[in-house]
DNA sequence: GCCTTGACAATTC
DNA sequence: AGAATTGCCAAGG
């Protein structure tokens, strides 16, 4: 199980209607601070709900078209927006099966 | 084996 | 508020 695999699992574990930040994914995957790994994981990981991953504070990281699409997809799933930000107060998701669950 | 590239995050000015 | 700086990890050249 590589780090990227865990990151992908975290992303895959985000339920519909919720979002998570790059930092949270990285932290949950066992590498706090390595938000860029999350980027990598998403680019490589196909079939992942990449649109449920947003930048810190719920900002949409993608520029232009892709950003619009992400926002669309999220709205379709029931995520509420405040300007160009997600309402993290409501939509933030924290995985319940993080790397912290490793066997002792 | 070193350097660059990634849809970032947090701090500082 | 926006730009610059640093830290983090993995893959590809």
- Give A19-74 pLDDT, tens digit per residue: 999 999 999 887 888 899 999 999 887 889 999 999 999 999 998 888 899 999 99
Name the closest residue (CA) to the C1' of nucleotide B8.
A35
DSSP string, A32-71: TT-HHHHHHHHHH-TTS-GGGEE-GGGB--S-HHHHHHHH
A96 CA → B9 C1’, Å: 22
Q: What pTM, to 2 d.p., does this model score?
A: 0.87
d(CA A38, CA A7): 6
On the question of pLDDT at A96 being above 80, the answer is: no
Q: A44, exposed or middle or buried, with CB in 10 Å at 0-12, 13-18, 19+?
A: exposed
Stated in angstroms, how far is A25 CA from B9 C1'?
Answer: 12
Helix/strand/coil for A81: strand
Give me the pLDDT at residue A44, please: 85
Q: How far is the CA of A90 from the C1' of B5 (A)?
A: 34
Per-residue pLDDT band at A100 (split at 50, 70, 90) = very low
A84/A102 Cα distance (integer angstroms): 37
A2 touches strand C (CB under 7 A): yes
pLDDT at position A104, please? 53
């Amino acid at each position: 199980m590589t780090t990227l695999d865990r990151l992908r699992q975290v992303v895959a574990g985000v339920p519909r209607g919720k979002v998570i930040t790059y930092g949270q994914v990285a932290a949950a995957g066992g590498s706090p601070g390595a938000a860029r790994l999350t980027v990598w994981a998403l680019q490589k990981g196909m079939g992942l709900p990449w649109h449920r991953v947003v930048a810190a504070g719920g900002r949409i990281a993608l520029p232009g078209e892709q950003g619009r699409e992400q926002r669309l997809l999220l709205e379709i799933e029931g995520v509420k927006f405040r300007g160009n930000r997600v309402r993290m107060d409501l939509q933030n998701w924290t995985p319940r099966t993080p790397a912290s669950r490793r066997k002792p």
